């Protein structure tokens, strides 16, 4: 287990929220909880993932650097999946002008929403990103510009992210949102 996630697990040996614990996402854990992960992923609009997407190490033209150190799963006190974050280190490129810890996918189960789990996950990454790479400056993510997705944009703005550039795909357009790491080197 990578030292960042060891730190994360140590930090949250105390529950992430009451009755929950956070673990590093591993391929065996993904396989074991594939149905629950895919079901929870369906709560994220505009995108669809099967088990193979959770297990992927790369996409065309992009390697998911650090994914198996930087992604986590949150479990409740009876071992049910309460949430997950898939994250990796993303280099800057034409379409992504920030070298950053990229928050690829996050969801919290409806049963556990409103308890501060997402806020604490994001704080966790903010605090730990520089332990992974001391030269990292940013957390980034993409989310759909569709007005029906405005609540998610509002949620991320409430979490301190700012809209930057539009990322256009044939079937959708996303905002690239960025938050500067608050922990100094």
Ligand X SMILES: CC(C)(COP(=O)(O)OP(=O)(O)OC[C@H]1O[C@@H](n2cnc3c(N)ncnc32)[C@H](O)[C@@H]1OP(=O)(O)O)[C@@H](O)C(=O)NCCC(=O)NCCS
Residue numbers of the site for ligand X (CB under 6 A)? 43-44, 105-108, 113-119, 143, 151-152, 154-155, 158
CA–CA distance, 181 with 112 (Å, rounded to integer)? 26
Q: Which is nearer to ligand X, 24 or 142 (CB)?
A: 142
Q: Which is nearer to ligand X, 104 or 184 (CB)?
A: 104
Q: Which is nearer to ligand X, 113 or 130 (CB)?
A: 113
173-180 and 138-144 as β-strands: parallel, antiparallel, unpaired?
antiparallel
Nearest approach in angstroms of CB 143 to ligand X is 6
Nearest approach in angstroms of CB 82 to ligand X is 9
- Residues with Cβ within 8 Å of 39's Cβ and at least 6 positions away in sequence, in order, are none
The pair phi, psi for residue 129, each rounded to 5°, is -55, -45
Nearest approach in angstroms of CB 22 to ligand X is 12
Q: Are 94 and 106 in contact (CB under 8 A)?
A: no
Q: Which is nearer to ligand X, 135 or 151 (CB)?
A: 151
Nearest approach in angstroms of CB 3 to ligand X is 26
Q: Are 155 and 124 in contact (CB under 8 A)?
A: no
Paired tokens of 75: 């479990």
């Amino acid at each position: 287990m990578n030292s960042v996630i060891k730190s994360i697990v140590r930090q949250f040996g105390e529950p992430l929220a009451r009755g929950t614990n956070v673990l590093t996402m591993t391929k065996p854990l993904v396989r074991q909880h594939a149905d629950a992960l895919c079901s929870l992923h369906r709560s994220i609009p505009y995108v669809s993932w099967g088990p193979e997407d959770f297990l992927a190490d790369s996409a065309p033209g992009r390697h998911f650097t650090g994914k198996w150190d930087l992604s986590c799963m949150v479990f409740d006190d009876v071992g049910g999946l309460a949430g997950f974050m898939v994250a990796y280190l993303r280099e800057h490129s034409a379409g992504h002008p920030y070298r950053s810890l990229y928050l690829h996918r996050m969801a919290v189960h409806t049963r556990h929403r409103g308890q501060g789990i997402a806020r604490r996950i994001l704080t966790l990454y903010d605090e730990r990103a520089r332990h992974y790479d001391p030269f990292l400056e940013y957390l980034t993510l993409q989310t759909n510009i569709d007005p029906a997705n405005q609540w998610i944009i509002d949620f991320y703005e409430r979490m301190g992210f700012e809209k930057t550039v539009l990322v256009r795909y044939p079937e959708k357009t996303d905002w690239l949102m960025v938050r500067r790491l608050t922990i100094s080197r």
